[in-house]
């Protein structure tokens, strides 16, 4: 089923000039970027986005990290996009992430893991709403659609 998910390219991704390479991986997979902007995360925005981590011991460090340089926020669309993007990104700790994933190939850190991707369709809805208004979404028909799957696999919805 076609889904949308939130992807954030974190400050380390911008600082290390990896934005283009990470975006290329999403595009190569056949995903559609339907919204994108560079912003600076405020402490208030960080607390809203990472509400479930507010009481974790690592939260103060996470807030300093996510607010220290700009981020690139995106909404990515495609078949089963939430799970597909999570698989492309890899597990949280870059040291443990599988080779071939974004974190596995570019990160050696649990905190500075380059990318945030929503962990469920419910989180995706909540997080997309935090970073984007409906007016900022630019959906379009991807030229690669015939190569994303057959009609039997992906009935029109």
Q: Which residues bind ligand CMP (CB under 6 A)?
A: 53, 58, 61-62, 92, 110-111, 113, 116
Whole-angstrom Cα distance, residue 24 to residue 126?
25
The dihedral sign for the CA sequence 39, 40, 45, 51: positive
CB of 10 to ligand CMP, least distance (A): 7
Nearer to ligand CMP, 50 or 136 (CB): 50
Q: In the annotation, is 116 catalytic?
A: yes
CB of 152 to ligand CMP, least distance (A): 34
CB of 28 to ligand CMP, least distance (A): 21
Nearer to ligand CMP, 2 or 111 (CB): 111
List Cα–Cα distances, 90 to 27, 45, 114, in angstroms: 17, 24, 11
Of 83, 116, 90, 111, the closest CA to residue 8 belongs to 116
Would you report the helix, strand and coil content of the chain in percent, each value rounded to 5? Answer: 40, 20, 40
Nearer to ligand CMP, 35 or 117 (CB): 117
**Which residues are annotated as catalytic?**
116
């Amino acid at each position: 089923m076609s889904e949308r998910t939130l992807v954030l390219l974190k400050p380390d991704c911008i600082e290390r000039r990896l934005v283009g390479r990470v975006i290329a991986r999403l595009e190569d997979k056949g995903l559609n970027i339907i919204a994108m902007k560079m912003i600076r995360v405020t402490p208030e925005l960080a607390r809203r986005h990472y509400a479930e981590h507010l009481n974790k011991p690592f939260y103060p460090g996470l807030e300093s990290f996510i607010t220290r340089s700009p981020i690139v926020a995106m909404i990515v669309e495609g078949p089963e996009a939430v799970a597909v993007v999570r698989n492309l990104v890899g597990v949280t700790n870059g040291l443990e992430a599988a080779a071939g994933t974004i974190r596995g190939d570019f990160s050696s850190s649990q905190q500075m893991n380059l990318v945030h991707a929503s962990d469920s369709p419910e989180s995706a809805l909540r997080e997309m709403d935090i970073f984007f208004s409906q007016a900022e979404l630019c959906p379009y028909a991807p030229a690669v659609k015939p190569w994303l799957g057959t009609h039997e696999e992906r009935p029109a919805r």
